[in-house]
């Protein structure tokens, strides 16, 4: 295991000024479901290489044994596998495409892209956010909706909706089967009536509520909040202030529908501020620190849950490493130190395909 995870550094900025208390109800699940085999596929690149060539590292879970390393044709910002495990969707900048795995033979492409990929459970629709939000049919990537601008978004499958925000206080809702805007809710209001601006958005398992991170400028202070809001009208059900130095990365929702995992990257600019991972319990409305990045030298960039939700993988973009958290007891297992280049993104794939 690399000493990079344990290097000493003086942390000169507070990672959490306040941590919301937890209760017994918010404690992790004690009886994890048995995991089936799966593969965690990570992309990485060499920062000094020109041109930039991405590579894949394939890890067999839950034992985390390396089974393959694959060079790829062109850079991308995000990728996801379809259920068959032999087709992947990629996106970057102004392009989205599907290709065979691992050969990379392109089967369809579209002239718009982003940094986050959402696929409906029936795999008939693809929603790309993080750039100009776009809705496509699968597998042909037929364009159903192209936004002129926008930020993060999510799918709400039970309601057949996709939604995205405009980096302000407006949330747009689409019927993803037709690609039409069904309504938009303006002015996300906090519990005191203050206007809040969206950062990230994801949907609860039931689709009845949206789980958001939001911010507002209060004089010279940038305030951050975790928000639970009703999907139908954006009525704020819970608003938790949180003191962090940076914006949140996208959250992941546990299969139990109760827990939501959040992280933020931290920074090495001017001073070292490690990022951290924490969990929000929707039922009890409590926020709990799960992994203090300063303990492990983490700069969390992306997270992924194992299929049964027993493990949380945390990709640390600056330290070139991956941490694995056993959620039954919150233990950070042996940090996985095998990325030869800079980690960029990751996705789960059915094993044995």
Q: What mean pLDDT comes out for the span 74-102?
A: 89
**What is the DSSP code (8-state) at residue 289?**
E
On the question of pLDDT at 31 being above 80, the answer is no
Helix (H) or strand (E) holding 296: helix 293-296
Q: Tell the CATH superfamily of the 3-22+32-350 domain.
A: YVTN repeat-like/Quinoprotein amine dehydrogenase (2.130.10.10)
pLDDT in tens, 229-282: 999 889 999 999 887 656 678 899 999 999 999 888 777 667 777 888 989 999
CB of 55 within 8 A of CB of 72?
A: yes
Kindly tell me if the per-residue pLDDT of 76 is higher than 90. Answer: no
- Taking only the tens place, the pLDDT of each residue in 180-209 is 999 877 778 999 999 999 989 999 999 999
d(CA 101, CA 83): 12
In the prediction, which pLDDT does 15 show? 28
More confident: 14 or 291: 291
- Average pLDDT estimate for 282-297: 87
- Return the ∠ at Cα 175 (arms to 172 and 181), rounded to 5°: 45
- Residue 337 has which token pair? 């130190």
Q: Tell me which of 293 and 254 has the higher pLDDT.
A: 254
Residue 341 is predicted with a pLDDT of: 73
| Alpha carbon of residue 246 to chain centroid | 15
Rounded to whole angstroms, the Cα distance separating 116 from 107 reads 20
pLDDT of 75 reads 81
- Enumerate residues 6+ apart whose C-beta is below 8 A from 255: 205, 305, 308, 309
Query: Beta partners for 175?
Result: 161, 180
pTM as predicted = 0.84
Q: Quote the radius of gyration of the chain (alpha carbons, Å).
A: 20
Q: Specify the pLDDT at position 304.
A: 93
pLDDT of residue 352: 54
**In whole angstroms, what is the distance from residue 327 CA to residue 48 CA?**
36
- The residue among 32 and 170 whose pLDDT is bigger is 170
Q: Which of 3-12, 139-148, 170-179, 341-350 has the lowest mean pLDDT?
A: 3-12
Band of pLDDT at residue 55, cut at 50, 70 and 90 = confident
pLDDT at 135: 95
| pLDDT value for 58 | 85
Nearest of 87, 55, 86 to residue 72 by alpha carbon: 55
Range 306-325 average pLDDT? 82
Which residue's entry shows tokens 């049964």? 308
Percent of the chain clearing pLDDT 90 (strictly above)? 35
Average pLDDT, the chain: 81
Amino acid 320: pLDDT:
55
pLDDT of 227 strictly over 80: yes
With 0-12 CB in 10 A as exposed, 13-18 as middle and 19+ as buried, what is 65? exposed
- Looking up tokens 């990230």 gives 200
pLDDT digits (tens, 9 = 90+) for 149-181: 888 999 999 899 999 998 888 899 999 989 999
Per-residue model confidence as pLDDT tens digits over 114-126: 889 999 999 999 9
Q: Is the pLDDT of residue 29 over 70?
A: no
pLDDT the model gives residue 146: 93
Q: Would the pLDDT of 17 be above 50?
A: no
Q: For residue 293, give the 3-state DSSP assignment.
A: helix
pLDDT of residue 122: 94
Q: Measured at the alpha carbon of residue 47, what is the angle toward residues 46 and 50, in degrees to the nearest 5?
A: 80
> What span, in angstroms and rounded, lies between the C-alpha atoms of 125 and 118?
8
Pairwise pLDDT comparison (80 vs 8), residue with the higher score = 80
Of 110 and 103, the structure prediction assigns the larger pLDDT to 110
Distances in whole angstroms, Cα of residue 48 to Cα of each of 68, 71, 321, 342: 23, 16, 18, 10
Q: What is the mean pLDDT of residues 294-310?
A: 87
For residue 334, the model assigns a pLDDT of: 63
- Find the mean pLDDT for residues 290-294: 87
| Residue 137: per-residue pLDDT | 94
């Amino acid at each position: 295991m690399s000493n990079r995870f344990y290097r000493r550094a003086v942390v000169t900025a507070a990672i959490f000024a306040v941590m919301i208390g937890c209760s017994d109800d918010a404690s992790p699940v004690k009886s994890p479901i048995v995991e089936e085999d799966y593969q965690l596929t990570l992309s990485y690149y060499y920062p000094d290489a020109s041109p930039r060539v991405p590579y894949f590292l394939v890890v067999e879970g839950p034992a985390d044994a390396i089974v393959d390393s694959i060079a790829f044709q062109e850079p991308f910002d995000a990728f996801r596998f379809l259920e068959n495990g032999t087709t992947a969707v990629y996106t970057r900048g102004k392009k989205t495409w599907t290709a065979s795995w691992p050969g990379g033979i392109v089967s369809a492409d579209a002239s718009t892209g982003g940094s986050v990929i959402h696929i409906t459970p029936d795999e008939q629709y693809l929603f790309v956010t993080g750039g100009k939000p776009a809705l496509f049919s699968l597998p042909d990537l037929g364009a159903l909706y192209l936004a002129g601008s926008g930020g993060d978004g999510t799918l709400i499958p039970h309601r057949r909706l996709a939604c995205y925000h405009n980096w302000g206080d407006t949330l747009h809702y689409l019927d993803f089967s037709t690609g039409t805007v069904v309504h938009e809710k303006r002015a996300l209001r906090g519990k005191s009536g203050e206007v809040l601006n969206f950062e990230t958005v994801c949907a609860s398992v039931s689709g009845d509520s949206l789980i958001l991170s939001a911010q507002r400028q209060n004089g010279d202070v940038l305030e951050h909040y975790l928000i639970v809001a009703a999907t139908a009208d954006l009525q704020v059900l819970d608003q938790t202030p949180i003191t962090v130095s940076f914006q949140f990365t996208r959250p992941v929702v546990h299969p139990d529908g109760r827990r939501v995992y959040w992280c933020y990257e931290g920074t090495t600019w001017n001073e070292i501020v490690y990022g951290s991972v924490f969990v929000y319990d929707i039922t009890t409305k409590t926020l709990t620190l799960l992994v203090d990045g300063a303990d492990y030298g983490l700069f969390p960039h992306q997270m992924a849950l194992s299929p049964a939700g027993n493990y949380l993988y945390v990709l640390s973009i600056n330290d070139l490493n991956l941490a694995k958290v056993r959620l039954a007891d919150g233990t950070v297992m042996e940090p996985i130190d095998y990325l030869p280049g800079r980690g960029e993104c990751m996705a789960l794939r059915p094993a044995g395909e």
